[in-house]
Chain A
Amino acid sequence: MMICRPEATPGWDAILATATVRTHANMGLLKITGGKVYDPTNGINGEIRDLWIQDGQVIAAPLDPAAKGDLTLDATGMIIMPGGVDMHCHIAGPKVNAARKMRPEEKRTSPMVHRTLLQRSGTTGSVPSTFATGYLYAGLGYTTAFDAAVPPIAARHVHEEFEDTPIIDKGFYVLMGNNHYIMKQIAANEPQRVKAYIAWLLNASKGYACKLVNPGGVEVWKQGGHNVSGLDDNVDRFNVTARQIIREVARCANELQLPHPVHIHCNNLGMPGNWTTTLDTMQSLEGHRGHLTHIQFHSYGGNPDEQSTFCSKVPELVDYFNTHENLTLDVGQVMFGPTTSMTGDGPLGYYLHKVFGRKWFSADTEMEAGCGIVPVEYRDKSFVHALQWAIGLEWYLLAQDPWRIAMSTDHPNGGSFLAYPEIIALLMDRTRREEVLARVPEKVLASCTLKDITREYTLNEITIITRAAPARILGLKHKGHLGPGADGDVTIYQPQSDLQKMFELPRYVIARGEVIVDDGEIKKVVDGRLHHVAPTYDEACVPDIQKWFEASYSMQFRNYHVESDHMHNPVLIGTNEAG
């Protein structure tokens, strides 16, 4: 039967279409010459090398010695790294936008982004507007960023914000730790259904990885305002424990051969004494690969009712981490100053509201998740805050294998991503750490090991934790390095004695072969791409999912899926099996 459908867009739409398309086609050959290259993935540690990029990808040097680039950048005396990769930040979606909406006050005192012929305007502060987010990341030499917490019901919203977040490549993790269907199927001992559902959900939302946030605890909060206290508390109504959720989702992520393993925000975030829960979580993976995020917030000793007992338990945790290769982590460094806490951890948001006494936004999402937003300020004169700062640095400095640890502030929770250069300086320069330790409450020094740590990061190690490692942990074979086939994402720094300044203002930033930033100025704005996965699943499981969905959700099953054409510049990342 013929169905009357809209024709291809009518005349006016067509005229406009040609005017608004921004592509990466025909970019020619770019040669970057004379720079000192740091590319740890390919074993290159500060060697002078030429780099060739064609059509957005790094290529081997042409065999013809007379070959010339269409554009040559002279990077003599400069430092060359792959573009930065932020594997855990909050930059898009309902939670981020609620924070923007709720906090006009901080934008008045933050730098504005002006409209130019190239740039859209925007606002900054701890939660920049979308266009500003793209420009700020690019200006920092970061070309890839992954949003860490998306309720799948809001995936469509995230895709729309991503379309308005220029330059950087992106993807997002799908919240699953309090998902009703997953909990029900775990309780019913239906591992095949759990696995099929997870794969179905990643397909429906066009997400990248499985995320757990306070598994089971958010559901307990939604039920009655409480929380779980550890891995073995029963989640009422569902009759499962956090331990079961973690183990099952970790298993499924591995069996589905997802490029990134399960991404875990542990139970009891921020609570003194939570380190035992964190250790328990590491053990509960039973050897499955797993990524523990913002580990700083989960490494505390002490008694929750007595602030003076608050102390670092990084040495104990790092012992376990160093000897268990299945684990990776990012830090979630706290930096001093005002910021916004935003989390899928509903009970945590309420806790922070009580601690800080500031305005509180909370949003419960049906069948899936929670959300808490609170403005916070970390102060160097606060024992707790200064110790949190020190604990983050302990993690960077005590973890032996930089390939399993990624830099993050859990933007904007511990601080803005704009603080990365300052963190780099702290890691590379022991005296900078000592300067800070000299002004924090003295008790901090006795409550952690930071003052005794002499390690200073090398540029090679910085390259690993800001690019190479996060790309590898994400399973992105074309990111975080500069070998042939890699994306032409390159950051070029002018060496200077002030390391923070050097990393704050790259000399050039190149995204997919195009020079985006030149001497602190945006020279070109391109679209970023969306990275997503599409694992296969047993179709026979879908009718049961649909039956549950239709009895539970406030929307239609058909309308839940994000259509393929709603993704902006998608890049499908195959499962590990598919190579």
Chain B
Amino acid sequence: MNAAVQRTETDVACTACGCVCDDLTLQFEGDLITQVGPDCPLAAAWFEPFRRPMTAGHKVQGQPAELEEAIAQAAEILAQSHAPLIYGLSRSSSPGQRAAVALAEQIGATIDTTASVCHGPSIMAIQMVGESTSTLGEIRERADLVLFWGANPVVSHPRHFERYSVDPVSELLPRGRADRHVIVLNDHANETALAAHQFVLVPEGQDYELITRLRALTHNPQAEVHPLGELTVDAIRKLAGQLASCRYGVVFFGLGLAQSRLGHLVVAELLRLVADLNARTRFVARRLRIPGDVAGADSILCWQTGFPFAVNLGRRHPRYNPGEFSAEGLLERGEVDCCLMIGSESLNDFSPQARQQLATIPLISLDYPHVRSIVPAQVRITTAVYGVHRSGTAYRMDEVPLPLRALCHSSLPSDETVLQTLQHRLAGTVPQPPILRR
């Protein structure tokens, strides 16, 4: 290469976390990133690998392989499979997510996203009771009461305060943070609690009990309620009063609720509380989603199949049943005979049992260059990165779609290309099950 040309890319969207901040400025020298701004530990880490030439390639059985060989092996594995699982997708983008559903349909796979081990229970809660929610800009403009419940955004979403929830100045909140009240509810003091105006220590595993008390007090401020562990009746009453007396309230909730025991019931109760509060004031809830395009993964799965995660396509039509068709459960019960992972970093979220099972079946991973899978894959195909090498769309945690642009060259194939190639190769090779009539 010639002396690398320096250039600046602005308004870049970062998919390191669900905030998908789209105001980044990247300095390039040729195809290498030299500077990333503004400061954010997650963005810095996300773009770090692009500072050096990418050497990672494709592998078959742990040995370097040409793309053609890797695809041929992957096609072979899928062709032999009777119960394939396609999983991941939250580090991909619309083109790859679409191609994954198309392939899943053709080979009669189960397809599931990382929501399944993150906010899947929250989605089930929405299916039970609905949700009063808003875009992040609405919160930025209006919310004078901000709750973080079972979440630690100071660590998981470092710029959330700055861009969306605490610091921004608007006509309604001209003094920014000083015009808002920030409450953290959690079973232990975390970094976010230290940065908030108020911390409510919720006894471990007692979130549901606290929410029901708040609901009772929302319906009737005079209702008799009992203390909850260390939480006094006065503290609970004060909190209920704060919820009802704000002008526009928001509760951001995290995996501390969604992944708690019977998380879907806990979140459903929280969403009921938020709906109830709309009789008194305006109140919204928002999942604090973790990976960059997890909202895109469940949105696309949903518009194409009708269901947001845990979808089985083995009967030539979509079937949905969390638990039965959730990746972790399928693996734990040994009900799949191969797995195509699109973004294998999320393997860490699986139970040890599911990971063990995964080690016993053929694994094909489609991973970004810098991702090292914790379970060895029979076939690893390294794919181009959306928002750096390829264009696409990321859906922010509030489902606002943001463009991802191709900023530099890469000879790596996109996951879309690989998945479409696999679909092409497998056309006609996989026997289709008969259509089962209801």
Which residues of A are in contact with B by a Cβ distance under 8 Å?
Answer: 1-7, 10, 12-13, 15-16, 19-20, 92, 94, 96-97, 100-105, 107, 112-115, 120-123, 125, 127-132, 153-154, 156-157, 160-161, 164, 221-225, 237, 350, 353, 359-367, 373-374, 552-556, 558-559, 563, 566
Contact = CB atoms under 8 A, between A and B. Distances in A.
Nearest to B409: A6
Among B129, B130, B171: residue with most chain A CB under 10 A: B130
A559 B129 CA distance: 33
Contacts of B432: 115
Contact of B318 (A16, A123, A360): A123
B134 A122 contact: no
A132 B134 CA distance: 28
Contacts of B225: none
Interface residues of B, number: 86
B408 A222 contact: no
Contact of A131 (B136, B304, B316): B304
B255 interface: no
Contacts of A156: 393, 401-403
Nearest to A556: B11
B22 A559 contact: yes
B403 A115 contact: no
Given A16-B417, A558-B10, 5 more contacts: A120-B102, A120-B105, A129-B306, A164-B98, A563-B403
B136 A554 contact: yes
B318 A15 contact: no
A123 B28 CA distance: 46
Contact of A115 (B22, B142, B317): B317
Interface in B164-207: 164, 170-172
Contacts of B313: 115, 121
- Interface residue SS majority, chain B: mixed
Given A364-B284, A556-B11, A101 B132 contact: no
A85 to B, nearest CB: 23
Contacts of B98: 164
Given A4-B7, A160-B94, A554 B305 contact: no
Nearest to B128: A359
B247 interface: yes
Among A4, A19, A156, A374: residue with most chain B CB under 10 A: A4
A157 B138 contact: no
B12 to A, nearest CB: 9
A167 to B, nearest CB: 16
Among B22, B133, B313, B318: residue with most chain A CB under 10 A: B318
A49 to B, nearest CB: 40
B282 to A, nearest CB: 5
A483 to B, nearest CB: 36
B406 A6 contact: yes
Given A6-B408, A556-B11, A362 B132 contact: yes
A12 B140 contact: no
Contacts of B30: 4
Contacts of A353: 130, 275
Given A361-B126, A365-B138, A556-B22, A100 B163 contact: no
Contacts of A102: 126-127, 130-131
B410 interface: yes
B302 A97 contact: yes
